[in-house]
Amino acid sequence: MDDTYGMSEYTCLDTLAEFCEITVQLYKEEYIRQPNQVDLERLLRKVEVRGFPSMIGTLDCMHWQWKNCPTGWKRGGKSRKPTIMLEAVVSFDIWIWHAFFGVLGSQNDITILGRSPLFNNLTKGKSPKLDYYVNGRQHNMRYYLADGIYPK
C-alpha cells in the first residue's frame, strides 16, 4: 500500500472502513434494506400484472474473479481462477435489495444457499406471509424467480 498510495496499510484500511460506514449511513434507508410492507405491496402489484403472483424478486448468483486474492485462500471457481460468489435479489425496477457474498471458491449457486441469510430466514419461517394460489393450490410464503439450479 505504501508504494501505490503513499499511505500505511492501517490508514488505507481505516479510510476504506470509514467510506463503507458513510455509504451505508447515506443509503441504508432507501436501498440497503429488505422491502417493507409498502415496498412489498408495490412489488406484488407490478409482478401480478406480469403473471407472477406473489413473486417478490429475481434471485441469482454469479462468480466474481478476485484478482488479488490472498494466496492461502485461493481455490478456483468455474474458470479455475479465484472467485467469490455474489447472491442477489433484484426487483423489476432494478432495486437490488439483497446481496450476499459467499465463501471464496464457492462452486455453484447451491453451495451458497447453505450460508445465505436470505434462505436461513426462509427456512426459519421468517418471511412475510402472503396467501396466494397457483394451479388451485394455496401457498403462503413469498418466492423468487430463479433459474433451474435451485431446489424447488
Give me the DSSP letters along 42-59.
HHHHHHHHTT-TTEEEEE
Q: How confident is the model at residue 18 (pLDDT cuts 50, 70, 90)?
A: very high
Q: pTM score > 0.75 for this model? A: no
pLDDT in the model for residue 133: 78
* Predicted confidence (pLDDT) at residue 144 exceeds the cutoff of 60: yes
Domain boundaries, given as residue ranges, for the chain = 33-145
**Torsion 65-67-68-70 (CA) sign:** positive
- Residue with the larger pLDDT of the pair 151 and 13: 13
For residue 74, the SS3 value is: coil
Separation in Å, CA 92 to CA 28, 37, 77, 83: 20, 17, 29, 27
